[in-house]
Amino acid sequence: MNSTLHPSERITQTSSPIARFSWAMADAWTITCRDLTHWRLRPGAVIVGWIFPVMIVLMFGLLFGGAIRVPNGGNYFEFLMPGMFATTMLFGLETTMIAVTTDASKGVTDRFRSLPMSASAVVLGRCIADLLNSIVGLALLIGTGLLLGWRWHAGMSAALAAVGLLLLLRFALLWIGIFFGLIAKGPESVTSVQILVWPISFLSNVFVNPSTMPSWLGAMAQWNPLSATTSAIRYLFRNPGWQAGSWISEHAVLMALVWPILLIAIFLPLSVRTYRRLNR
């Protein structure tokens, strides 16, 4: 009846840095599997999350597309898709925030924190799961784009580089989502972020040319990390884009690397630190 397991029967008792690291990775993977199991048992929200960008593409492409002049002419989807890929990475922010906030408001987080597991494993596990989710979502959207006539024109390696930049942006936004998810007071406050996501995606070069905006807004739109990634992947896919001629649009690929790396450098340590000091 009283079967017990003594602490010494744990596999690890060692505390060498390498062993600590490999256990942190193992813990993170355990958390990833937990998050994936959540989606398998309750697939509704994930599927909606995948379908939503597809609907947006259809909405813009079929409803607004006829009224928008494509730079240098051509198929509207050729122009629209790269922007939609980048925007979809931004939409992922909400999913992450909701998941993190919901988790933090539940007792299960207290148990994670009272276990001798790696403190960063919970946030890292969430990060891996969300990244896998985004890969599926992105694949679906790429498939949709191909069906609608969008193509890449610079070969497979440039296309893969573009996908890499998109996932790098998603990875950076993930840590923003985790950080704000941890400091949010509850699932309700996530709603405000959902509202903010829209102006951020419109205040960019995704849908319109920033040079048509008032100059100060146009400058903000050009410096938007979303614009950097969008310009970079338009270039890598050889899809039509705006020729603004400014420094930032000349160095789009560089900025599509610098922005996410800068965001990761800020928000990854902040998230881990906030998680460690979490107290409800």
Partner 1 sequence: MESRALAIAAHGVRKHYAGAKAGTGLNGFDLEVQSGTVCGLLGPNGAGKTTAVKILSTLLELDDGQACVAGFDVTTQARQVREHIGLVGQYAAVDEILTGRQNLVMFARLNHLSGHQAELRADALLEQFALTEAGKTPVSTFSGGMRRRLDLAASLIVSPSVLFVDEPTTGLDPAGRREVWTAIRSLVGAGTTVLLTTQYLEEADQLAHRICMLKEGRVIAEGTPDSLKSALGGDWLDIVLRPGVETATVAQIVKPVACGDIRIDTQINRISVPVTDRTRSLITVATALSEAGIEPEDLALRRPTLDEVFLHLTGSAEAENALEVAL
Q: Does 151 bind partner 1 (CB under 8 A)?
A: no
Residue pair 92/137 in contact by the 8 Å Cβ criterion: yes
Nearer to partner 1, 119 or 255 (CB): 119
HSE, CB side, 13 Å, CA atoms: give it for residue 175.
22
Q: Does 188 bind partner 1 (CB under 8 A)?
A: no
Q: Pattern 69-108, binding to partner 1, x per CB under 8 A? A: -------------------------------------xxx
Binding footprint of partner 1, residue count (CB under 8 A): 36
Give dist(CA 45, CA 39) in Å, integer. Answer: 8
Longest dimension (CA), the chain: 77
* Measured CA distances, 235 to 15, 38, 170, 232, 261 (Å): 48, 38, 19, 5, 20
Choice from 37, 192, 194, 212 touching partner 1 (CB under 8 A): 37
Give dist(CA 173, CA 90) in Å, integer. Answer: 7
Q: Does 22 bind partner 1 (CB under 8 A)?
A: no
Give dist(CA 133, CA 178) in Å, integer. Answer: 15
Q: Pattern 233-272, binding to partner 1, x per CB under 8 A? A: ----------------------------------------
Residues of this chain that bind partner 1 (CB under 8 A): 1-7, 9-12, 23, 26-27, 30, 33-34, 37-38, 41-42, 106-117, 121, 277, 279
